[in-house]
Structure 1
Amino acid sequence: MVGLSVGEKHFIQGGVAQDLRCDGRKRLTYRPIYLETGVIPQANGSARVRMGATEVIASVKAELGRPTPLQPDKGKVSIYVDCSPTAEPAFEGRGGDELSTELSTALQCCLLGGKSGAGAGIDLSSLIVVEGKICWDLYIDGLVVSSDGNLLDALGAAIKAALSNTGIPKVNVAASASGDEQPEVDVSDEEFLQFDTSGIPVIVTLTKIGRHYVVDATSEEESQMSSAVSISVNRKGHICGLTKRGGAGLDPSIILDMVSVAKHVSEQLLEKLDSEIAAAEADEGES
């Protein structure tokens, strides 16, 4: 937890009210974003994202599995976040476990949509190999290396970058299998299919401090929030998911305004991420 004096609390709140934050940013300005891809060689795809002093890593592992009977035409994706105890003393013991669960659930909501698959930013039907029999299971792991606020947005950006870095092996299916038999498959070691990330949204968290809200809040700013709403927005401006934390209730009109602000901010964030991912992959290709 961030320990602040009364004077420091007033300074943060007063700055937000006057659109001038402690680090010189305006309310709707992000910290500089640094991004690297291919940081974990053993994974099918990986990325590291740094926003200020917040640093996270995401990795994607693809394994062949069997689709569920309820969704025979879709693959499966699971997201799990681990908060390293070295990132913050509060993450030691139960504190880290609770935050890990909260972040994992929020990411599932923002990136995978509802249980029916509606609103999913990841196209699960693209993960099917043989309908009803074989699919790809994607295991997405996030690790919080260093924490200084806005973990959800950083993890969302890292997952988007890791998926754009993911190569799924090409699978050749033997045509002989009939009925309920599992068909034989040959997984290529040389040919890989790139994952389509064009529909994957970015997450914009608006943190309410006093009467105003800010994006990319630091830990000190988060300690002064009444509530925070995280909205995932895709390239078409569609809302893919929404999650709220903090005890204070919000008037529906404020949430509608937050959604409109998040749509506007997401355009700049998507542009920034696209150029960072392209640059990171170019660097990786040269090395």
Structure 2
Amino acid sequence: MVGLSTGEKHFIHGGIAQDLRSDGRKRLHFRPISVETGVIPQANGSARVRLGATDVIVSIKAELGKPNSFQPDKGKVAIFIDCSPTAAPEFEGRGGEELSSELSVALERCFLGGKTGTGAGIDLSSLIVVEGKVCWDLYIDGLVISSDGNLLDALAAAIKVALSNTGIPKVNVDLGASPDDQPEVDVSDEEFLQFDTSGVPVVVTLTKVGRHYIVDATLEEESQMSSAVSVSVNRHGHICGLTKRGGAGLDPSVILDMISVAKHVSQNLISVLDSEIAAAEANADE
């Protein structure tokens, strides 16, 4: 937990009220973002994202599996987050496990839509190889290396970047003589298909401190929040998911305004990530 004096708390609240935060940012400005891709060679895709002093790594592994019987035309995605005990003192023991679980659930809600998959930011139908019989299972693993607030947005950005770095092996399928036969699948070691990230969203968390809300809150700012709403938005401005934390209730009109602000801020964030991804790929090619 962040221990702040009364004076420090007043300083944070006063700065946010005047649209000048402790680190010089305005309420709706993110900290500097840096991106690396291909940081884990044995994964199908990986990325490291630094958002200020918050530092996370995401790796993606693709394995062949069988679609669920109730969604025979869709592949499967699982998201697991691990908060390193060295990232923050509160991550030691049960604290880290509970936060890891909370972040995993929130990210699945933001990227995979509801139970039916409606509004999912990741196109699960693109992961199907043979409908009802063979699909790709994507395992998305995130690791929090250093925490200085806004973990959800940083992890979501790292997932988006890692997916842009992900190659799905090309497969040749022999369906067999009978429809009941299990197809034979030959997986290429040399040819890969780039994962389509055109609909993959970013997450923008609006943290309410006093009467105002801010984006990309630091750990100190998060300690003063009454509530926070995380909005998952893709480059087309479509809302893919929504999650809230904090005990304080919010008026529906405030939530609608938060969504509107998140949609506006998300487009700038996506533009920054696009530039960072292009720069990271150019560095990797050199």
User: Any unmatched runs of 5+ in structure 2?
Assistant: none
The whole-number CA distance in structure 1 between the counterparts of 2:254 and 2:30 is 21
- Are 2:147 and 1:157 equivalent residues in the alignment? no
The whole-number CA distance in structure 1 between the counterparts of 2:266 and 2:150 is 15
| Residue pair 2:46, 2:166 contacting (<8 A) in 1 also | yes
The whole-number CA distance in structure 1 between the counterparts of 2:204 and 2:64 is 32
Deviations 1:168-206 (A, max 9, x none): 000000132523221111100000000000100110000
Per the alignment, residue 28 of structure 1 pairs with: 28
| Residue pair 1:177, 1:184 contacting (<8 A) in 2 also | no
The whole-number CA distance in structure 2 between the counterparts of 1:5 and 1:88 is 20
The whole-number CA distance in structure 2 between the counterparts of 1:243 and 1:4 is 27
Identity rate, percent: 81
1:110-189 equivalences under 5 Å are: 110-189=110-189
What amino acid maps onto 1:249 in structure 2? G
The whole-number CA distance in structure 1 between the counterparts of 2:237 and 2:177 is 43
What amino acid maps onto 1:214 in structure 2? I
Per the alignment, residue 83 of structure 1 pairs with: 83
The whole-number CA distance in structure 1 between the counterparts of 2:52 and 2:261 is 22
The TM-score, its normalising length taken from structure 1, stands at 0.99
Deviations 1:16-40 (A, max 9, x none): 0000000000000000000000000
> SS of 1:144's equivalent?
strand
Runs of 4+ in 1 over 6 A off after TM superposition: none
1:1-287 equivalences under 5 Å are: 1-286=1-286
The TM-score, its normalising length taken from structure 2, stands at 0.99
Superposed displacement of residue 284, structure 1: 1.1
The whole-number CA distance in structure 2 between the counterparts of 1:169 and 1:119 is 26
Deviations 1:215-236 (A, max 9, x none): 0000000000000000001111
Pairwise CA RMSD: 0.6
The whole-number CA distance in structure 1 between the counterparts of 2:95 and 2:114 is 27
Please, which moves more after superposition, 146-155 or 167-176?
167-176
What amino acid maps onto 2:232 in structure 1? S
| Residue pair 2:164, 2:196 contacting (<8 A) in 1 also | yes
| Residue pair 1:59, 1:141 contacting (<8 A) in 2 also | yes
Number of paired residues? 286
User: Any unmatched runs of 5+ in structure 1?
Assistant: none
| Residue pair 2:176, 2:182 contacting (<8 A) in 1 also | no
Deviations 1:31-51 (A, max 9, x none): 000000000011000000001
What amino acid maps onto 1:72 in structure 2? P
| Residue pair 1:46, 1:57 contacting (<8 A) in 2 also | yes
| Residue pair 1:177, 1:183 contacting (<8 A) in 2 also | no
> SS of 1:185's equivalent?
strand
Superposed displacement of residue 285, structure 1: 1.6
